[in-house]
Chains A and B, each alone.
Chain A
């Protein structure tokens, strides 16, 4: 079992003929993901990925002709917000946007539009999501994990791989791993995903990987204390980050005294959530939390 994505999910890839789109779509298909269509305007009628995937000009056509229900976006930043709107308008219920560098204004406008239509948006500026053993939508290297009882969610990409890999080395896999993205405004927050893991019968424990900036971790801590019965382990990156400097992610910035790693760790621990000191310790705590 998994959340959001499984082997039956019918995926359309926007930007499938670009270099990143081609590289990762091939990996996703090889993993077992049911990629039914691709979209690149003005390349409709072609076939991509060694002739395996039909290409359409619009997402609407991909939905109508191939029954796509989930969209994976590898479109360059200036056009990515529009690509999200297109997949929402075409009726996709899940939209995963990998693209980094989308202007905040574009996301400020897209966010309420997407939420009002009940669509789940993951990202942008994220590695996507994987339900190990079933399907992979995005750029997470599938070979470093396998199926198991842990639900993993994170604002980071590579840091997530690190924790996944450490758990996998200890023999523990995941139901689903979701990279929610490192931008100031992302489609799904920690609470949205944690609620799904709580409802998923196969998920026995949850690992949440946060970082400096904003207050999503603090909000999640309050939510977990009131609503989550499963053990939650957390990790926060950025204890050594100086104030006022953007640490790579557009959203990773300590502003004055708010958004610090210490404040997030304190909020989580105050609600009884264990916080690992290193990715390795976090993976160990998560494995132990399974009892």
Chain B
């Protein structure tokens, strides 16, 4: 779960990571009020989950509240790489910046350890620093059972070529950021730039935070962060209906599978037969009739979908439940709106097929194998397009 800058900063602050004073605003009027209260020069920043907003004109300085209102009205509604700006962050920007650095922590899958990175080259794309000036980038692995020790911190500071006079302030911020990363169950915390002011304070000027969705049960405070309104319409609907893992794509063959691997493979096989998948939907291990019905209705909420392919291999999911779900869904929707190719195999597959046969629902086409099912769904989608 990727957070907006202001959401990430709120979490930073709760772990004592210093951030500039400021507040988010969804209207220019609100931005003006926040700037008025701050009473200093401010920066107005587009809140989008994508990089490069500065270059796109989504970050602007304003010397007073009236100017903040004007800048906010320019930025709100902007389209930055396909992301519509619905919110700005208004922050005080009255400190003279002495230096800009980079700090991050993430989970390194390959090393199966935490990775801390630090660089004196802040404010730049860190992948460019890694490629062009690797001597300025410290990469330090931290054993999760040991935690961040002073030696790790020294390797980050010296390795990143942070000047000695800033070690104390930057080191303190890094320690707090590590606590935030671990205690906060983040998969990534990044500060770029981390600034040191003329007075020697270290401040997180930006935030990039991704949270581990599997750990939400430990953090009731995160629930309000998941901003459904920022998601594409179908994905929002899928979340609201709790149908599991849905990813929208461009094609016209709707896909439901059970298990991530089989569902991904179903998309690939559809593409192999010349079809275009409309979505990825893994209804998961314990999928029941209700989940199946909701899943079908989410997919059919797109007018592009011309055929639906349900590919189930039963392990935890029992095919009789899947079959009942398909019948319930079709009943709820008042009949099969698009042709549905259904393939059931594995646990209770025979019972599942029998349930489908007995119900005799029009527009539901059984298929024996995965390839046959994919081929049939692609053909049906093409035929409907032509008609």
Q: Is A291 an interface residue (CB 8 A)?
A: no
Q: Verify B261–A144 contact, CB threshold 8 A.
A: no
Q: Verify B314–A20 contact, CB threshold 8 A.
A: no
Taken together as a complex, chains A and B put the C-alpha atoms of A250 and B1 apart, in Å, by: 11
A264 to chain B, nearest CB (A): 13
Q: Verify B259–A159 contact, CB threshold 8 A.
A: yes
Q: Is B160 an interface residue (CB 8 A)?
A: no
Residues 242-284 of B contacting A (Cβ, < 8 Å): 244-245, 247, 249, 257-265, 267-272, 277, 280, 282, 284
Q: Is A123 an interface residue (CB 8 A)?
A: no
Q: Verify A248–B268 contact, CB threshold 8 A.
A: no
Q: Is A109 an interface residue (CB 8 A)?
A: yes
Q: Verify B212–A105 contact, CB threshold 8 A.
A: yes
B277 to chain A, nearest CB (A): 6
Indicate whether A105 sits within 8 Å of B316 (C-beta atoms), given known contacts A248-B263, A249-B261: no
Q: Is B347 an interface residue (CB 8 A)?
A: yes
The chain A residues found within 8 Å of chain B, CB to CB, are: 20, 24, 77-78, 100-105, 108-109, 111-113, 127, 139-141, 144, 154-162, 165, 182, 184-185, 209, 211-216, 219, 235, 237-242, 245-252, 256, 261, 277-280
By a CB distance below 8 angstroms, the chain A residues around B110 are 214-216, 219
B275 to chain A, nearest CB (A): 10
Indicate whether A280 sits within 8 Å of B260 (C-beta atoms), given known contacts A214-B110, A247-B247: no
Indicate whether A247 sits within 8 Å of B265 (C-beta atoms), given known contacts A103-B215, A185-B112, A241-B280: no
Q: Verify A140–B144 contact, CB threshold 8 A.
A: no
Q: Verify A251–B269 contact, CB threshold 8 A.
A: no
Chain B binding site: helix, strand, loop or mixed by DSSP? Answer: mixed
Q: Which of B144, B214, B257, B268 has the most CB of A within 10 A?
A: B214
Q: Verify A248–B259 contact, CB threshold 8 A.
A: yes
Q: Is B345 an interface residue (CB 8 A)?
A: yes
Q: Verify A185–B182 contact, CB threshold 8 A.
A: no
Indicate whether A238 sits within 8 Å of B313 (C-beta atoms), given known contacts A78-B217, A155-B261, A248-B259: no
Q: Verify A242–B315 contact, CB threshold 8 A.
A: no
Leading 8 A-B pairs by shortest Cβ distance: A156-B261, A248-B260, A158-B259, A159-B261, A103-B215, A158-B262, A248-B282, A237-B264
Indicate whether A105 sits within 8 Å of B265 (C-beta atoms), given known contacts A113-B145, A162-B370, A185-B112: no
Q: Verify A103–B261 contact, CB threshold 8 A.
A: no
